[in-house]
Structure 1
Amino acid sequence: MTTPTAARIAFIGTGLIGTPMVERLLECGREVVVWNRTRDKLAPLLEAGAQAATSARDAAQGAALVCLCLTDTTAVEEVVFGHDGLVTVLGAQHLIVDLSSIAPDATQRMAQRLQAECGAHWLDAPVSGGTPAARKGTLIVFAGGEATDIERAAPVFDALAQRVTHMGGHGAGQLAKSCNQQLVACNLMVIAEMLAFAERSGVDASRLPAALAGGWADSLPLQVFGPRMAGNVDKPRLGAVSTFRKDIEQVVRLAESVGADIPITYAALSEYRRAIVEAEVGPDADASRLIRLRRATSSASDS
């Protein structure tokens, strides 16, 4: 086994938010080895100074810190425990920093399994703030795991985050992210509903985000997505409708498992499911298109 170095960071998964994270790490002088299933996505990162690995396993061998930023729970489990997975090369000196947003209960199980099989440590560290915050290094991190592992991950967090909050043991960071997504997903649906209502009433909806700024109705989603919704702007994509649907489905599953009453969240989930099958929106569309669902419903009621 190659002796890992604290100076090198392995980064696995360079999608919508993973790419600006790696760019930020490079800007801060970190040595980063990258791997992604779709190799074409690595091109701009290699030009910026990242090193390419032939596999996730190869990326992790010489790095004490192994960052994951993957699509879902299945992808994380496959990369860590699948054929030629990370578990085959990791040891007690390694720390997985999982920046993905995945299931809290699966995170607990995988962290325990990793420790038992190879002695490596796991820190769930999902983030909030989106691609703009990733580029600026101002992400919010919800950390679950040991406090000492948060300290070990400082080369990553110092570059990427404005705040890291230790939420508790393994899985607690992911649960906090689920709470975050519950608020954001429901908020976006109400923002779309509110703007469409304003339009329908003859108000210039494009003026509302600025008019509401600083008041009790204000929020970051309103300021980011509100002008895009009112102006029919959906590129570049900031957050896919299907991603919010996935996140809110997880909230519902977790809430049911503990007996929590979440009627507003159930209603929002129903609307996300409808948005995905509607031609006006669709699963891969940016969440800015959610307003089209409300407009279409209003138009249908007139006919």
Structure 2
Amino acid sequence: MAEASKANPQGVEKVGYLGLGLMGAPMTRRLLAAGYQVAVWNRSLGKAAPLVEAGARRAETPRDLLAASDIVFMCVTDATAVEEVIFGPDGISTAPGAGKIVVDFSSIHPDAARDLATRLKAANGAHWIDAPVSGGTKGAEEGTLAIMAGGDAADIERVRPYVLAMARRFTHMGPIGAGQTTKLCNQVIVGCAMAVLAEATRLAVNSGIDANRLPEALAGGFADSIPLQLFVPRMAQGIYAPPLGHIATMLKDLDTIADVAQATSTPVPMAALAGQLFRLARTVRGADADALEIYKLSAADD
């Protein structure tokens, strides 16, 4: 914590959050509730306004956000969006970064994470942690997220208290890129689970039994899981708002899995099939539809 103490003599660092979407907004609220000083930035000002009212300070640009913060957290759509806020005009890379850490909660390709980290360190000296999250909007609101991280061990420990204001679990998986690879493993399981649970729910409905009772009936057995308990009732009852995650986001991750699997000679037949189902869901339901609308693919009247 030597660098942290130098940046803030009280030992409590100033933090920033960039990207105030489905995940970023509730995660920022948890930082504010924990009593931290938080600066925020979002491309559309409307998403920042409620957080400013809750006590955050609005930064004018990503550059301003890093200048005002010791640690910057970030959650944006994809690697293109990360590139823009880091290296675009008035991006994070244009502010002095020595002794500061950027923690990227976005889900991007492991190679992209390593490339961005190297370039940012060369540009302004800031350190990088790739720390994708799992747990959806519910986990973000309740502070029960699982976060898997890649980066330097000292950096991980420095940001840990702040991350644990937003998450239940924060696991250091290895060097930069390891967090993203771990998230891909997570998405193999989640993407396939959504597809399989959609089949089970449809089988129940088409067979005339109450699909809403599947979580109760299967609780404690080998089929029980958080996805079973959370996803099946939403599918059975047609609850898709607010979305737990978008079809486009899941498909992006499944496509990245396919790319990494090819590079590492890893067979992923189940994840590949899930990717094709979500590609079809995107065509039928739209990119911004809830990922659980994959359930609708199996019924002609949906």
Counterpart among 284, 290, 293 of residue 297 in structure 2: 293
Cα RMSD after superposing both structures: 1.5
How do 1:172-251 residues align onto structure 2 when only pairs under 5 Å count? 172-251=178-257
Stretch deviating more after TM superposition (91-100 or 153-162): 153-162
User: What SS is found at the alignment partner of 2:157?
Assistant: helix
* Aligned residue among 137, 145, 152 for 1:139: 145
Provide the residue aligned with 1:104 in structure 2: 110
Q: Deviations over 1:34-91 (max 9, x none)?
A: 0000110112111111111111111110211011111111111111112222111132
CA contact (8 A) 2:132 2:183 kept: yes
Q: State the SS of the aligned residue for 2:129.
A: strand
The 2-side partners of 1:199 and 1:91 are apart by 56
Q: CA deviation at 1:4?
A: 5.3
| Cα offset, 1:263, TM superposition | 1.0
Which residue pairs with 1:119 in the alignment? Answer: 125
Task: Tell me the distance in 1 between the aligned counterparts of 2:18 and 2:235.
Answer: 33
Aligned to 2:3: none
Q: 2:288 matched to which residue of 1?
A: 284
Amino acid in structure 2 at the alignment position of 1:174: Q
Q: CA deviation at 1:182?
A: 1.4
User: What SS does the aligned partner of 1:159 have?
Assistant: coil
> For residues 151 and 13 of structure 2, what CA distance do their matches in structure 1 show?
22
Structure 2 residue aligned with 1:275, among 281, 285, 288? 281
Which stretches of structure 1, 4 residues or more, deviate above 3 A after TM superposition? Answer: 3-6
Q: Distance in 2 between matches of 1:88 and 1:230?
A: 49
Aligned: 1:31 with 2:37: yes
| Paired residue type of 2:24 | G
Which residue, 16, 19, 32 being the options, matches 2:22? 16
1:89 aligns with 2:63: no
Q: Does 1:64 pair with 2:64?
A: no
3-state SS of 1:102 partner: coil
Deviation at 1:131, TM superposition (A): 1.5
State the partner residue of 2:175: 169
1:159 counterpart = 2:165: yes
- Calculate the TM-score normalised by the size of structure 2: 0.93
Percent identical: 48
Q: Which moved more, 1:105-114 or 1:18-27?
A: 105-114
8 Å contact from structure 1 (residues 4, 61) kept in 2? no
Report the residue type matching 1:268 in the other structure: A
Is 1:261 aligned to 2:290, yes or no?
A: no
CA displacement at 1:130 relative to structure 2: 1.3
For residues 231 and 169 of structure 2, what CA distance do their matches in structure 1 show? 23
Pair 1:55-2:61 in alignment: yes
Per mean C-alpha deviation after superposition, the further-off stretch among 239-248 and 165-174 is: 239-248
Structure 2: distance between partners of 1:62 and 1:284: 33
Q: Judge conservation of contact 1:232–1:288 (CA < 8 Å) in 2.
A: no
**C-alpha distance in 2 between matches for 1:203 and 1:256:** 41
Rounded to whole Å, the distance in 2 between the matches of 1:62 and 1:4 is: 11
How far is 1:258 from its partner? 1.1
SS in 1 for 2:165: helix
